[in-house]
Amino acid sequence: MLRTIATPTTVVLRALCMLHITHTYLYEFTETKGESMLPTLSSSNDYVHVLKKYRNGTGCQMGDCIVAVKPTDPSHRVCKRITGMPGDIILVDPSHLEDGPARFEQFIQVPKGHVWVTGDNLSHSLDSRSYNVLPMALIKGKIIAANDFTEPMRGNGEKRFGMFGFRWIKNTYLND
């Protein structure tokens, strides 16, 4: 008969397994960097709370902030806002691009299973305007809140910040 004994190794393995399950399916707390989501997320020292039940785009809506695998570089992840849902027609303005064949405005219809994503800082964001529609399968989760730990008490008197720079990340499309 096989007896299960909780050796330190199995305890650690179980903990790691739980951590992996949590990280994959429930929740993630991750540092973000970059200027593309200013002013919603700071360019450094910001940490985001990500709910994994929205992975693969499940339940995502127009205006949601999401974390996704970067389509042009699977080793990187991006934080963007959904600004077009499947079936939506997008007017692409490529004027911010330095080069590329299409230097004129064009319309794109977002195909099934894809979304259009942009950074809140349009002039400093690499997004669907350059890599086109994002497959929903690349969405890892939805950003619901963020912390800036350089603001231990509150952010420079700004009311929208709580302790440790906490604030909810709003859906700008539905809540404005």
Ligand X SMILES: *[C@@H]1O[C@H](CO)[C@@H](O)[C@H](O)[C@H]1NC(C)=O
Q: Which residues bind ligand X (CB under 6 A)?
A: 35, 38-39, 43, 56, 113, 121, 123-124, 136-137
Nearer to ligand X, 61 or 121 (CB): 121
Question: Which residue minimizes CB distance to ligand X?
Answer: 38
- Closest of 82, 76, 30 to residue 54, by C-alpha: 82
**Closer Cβ to ligand X, 112 or 153, answer by number:** 112
Question: Rounded to the nearest whole angstrom, what is the least distance from the CB of residue 113 to ligand X in the complex?
Answer: 4
The verdict on whether 53 is a catalytic residue reads no
Q: How far is the CB of 123 from ligand X (least distance, A)?
A: 6
Least spacing, CB of residue 35 vs ligand X, in Å: 4
Catalytic residue, from 42, 52, 80, 125: name it: 80
* Catalytic status, residue 80: yes
Catalytic positions are 36, 80
